């Protein structure tokens, strides 16, 4: 990737974006980095450092203007663009993601589905016909797919990633529980749902008095 900003920083920006948006929608016009820090449990220094990477935001001694931050962070995160997505592997998880409601609200549009199973090729999920994976390259080009979502078994994931890169996608979201390699210029996000469960297990352990 050309940018030196890490995924951790971008993840925090997405958190800031959601909080600024919620504050704005609730009529809060301005907030200090101290109050942001309390709400998010991130140190104010970390918040100011993260935001300073992208320019001069807020007013010293006053705070950040929520309307301005929603617009500016939205621009930084590319949430004001329109993204076409393709899901490769229409099994349980692929089918679930195809039906996931929150994507379109945030500018992410499902534009193609692929599978290799002739029993489901041609059938329709969420209004999109499932294409034969052998036509991946032409469909990705014709429908201007930006983001490829990998929901195939682990053993097939690397081959699919190679096909998506070859077809010209700009980024990959990998749900297969395995490490895949892509060229440095292709952004890759690996989803690990098991990580989120550790937040629950922590709290349950505490509440049970086990630690």
Indicate the residue among 32 and 103 with the shorter CB distance to its own copies: 103
Rama region for 162: left / alpha / beta (φ>0; ψ in -120 to 50; rest): alpha
> Under the criterion CB under 8 A, does residue 43 sit at the interface with its own copies?
yes
Least distance (Å) from its own copies to the CB of residue 52? 13
Residue closer to its own copies (CB basis): 43 or 135: 43
Cα–Cα dist 115/136, whole Å: 9
Residue 11 backbone phi and psi in degrees, to 5 = -60, -40
Which residues, 91 to 110, sit near its own copies by CB under 8 A? 91-93, 95-103, 105-108
User: How far apart are alpha carbons 36 and 94 in whole angstroms?
Assistant: 36
Least distance (Å) from its own copies to the CB of residue 41?
A: 3
Pair type for strands 171-174 and 108-115:
unpaired
- To its own copies, the closest distance from the beta carbon of 150 in angstroms equals 12
Residue 149, beta-bridge partner list: 87, 173
Does residue 156 belong to the site contacting its own copies (CB under 8 A)? no
Q: With binding defined as CB under 8 A, does residue 129 bind its own copies?
A: no
Interactions with its own copies, residue window 136-155 (CB under 8 A): 146-147, 154
Which of 109, 137, 141, 203 touches its own copies by CB under 8 A?
203
Residue 181 near its own copies by CB under 8 A? no
**Distance of closest approach, residue 15 Cβ to its own copies, in angstroms:** 8
Alpha-helical segments (H) within the chain? 7-25, 33-40, 44-52, 66-76, 92-98, 102-105, 136-142, 154-167, 193-207
Is position 192 an interface residue for its own copies (rule: CB under 8 A)? yes
Rule CB under 8 A: say whether 194 interacts with its own copies.
yes
Nearest to 85 by CA among 34, 26, 51, 126: 126
């Amino acid at each position: 990737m050309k940018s030196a900003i890490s995924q951790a920083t971008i993840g925090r920006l997405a958190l800031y974006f959601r909080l600024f948006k919620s504050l704005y929608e609730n009529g809060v016009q301005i907030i200090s980095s101290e109050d942001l820090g309390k709400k998010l449990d991130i140190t104010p220094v970390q918040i100011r450092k993260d935001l300073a990477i992208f320019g001069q935001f807020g007013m010293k001694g006053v705070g950040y203007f929520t309307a301005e931050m929603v617009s500016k962070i939205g621009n930084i995160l590319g949430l004001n663009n329109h993204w076409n997505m393709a899901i490769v592997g229409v099994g349980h998880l692929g089918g679930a993601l195809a039906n996931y409601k929150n994507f379109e609200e945030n500018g992410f549009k499902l534009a193609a589905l692929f599978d290799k199973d002739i029993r489901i090729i041609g059938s329709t999920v969420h209004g999109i016909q499932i294409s034969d994976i052998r036509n991946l390259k032409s469909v990705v080009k014709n429908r201007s797919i930006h983001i490829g979502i990998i929901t195939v078994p682990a053993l097939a994931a690397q081959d699919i990633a190679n096909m998506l890169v070859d077809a010209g996608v700009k980024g990959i979201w990998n749900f297969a529980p395995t490490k895949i390699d892509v060229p440095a210029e292709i952004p890759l996000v690996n989803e690990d749902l098991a990580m989120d469960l550790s937040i629950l297990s922590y709290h349950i352990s505490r509440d049970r008095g086990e630690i």
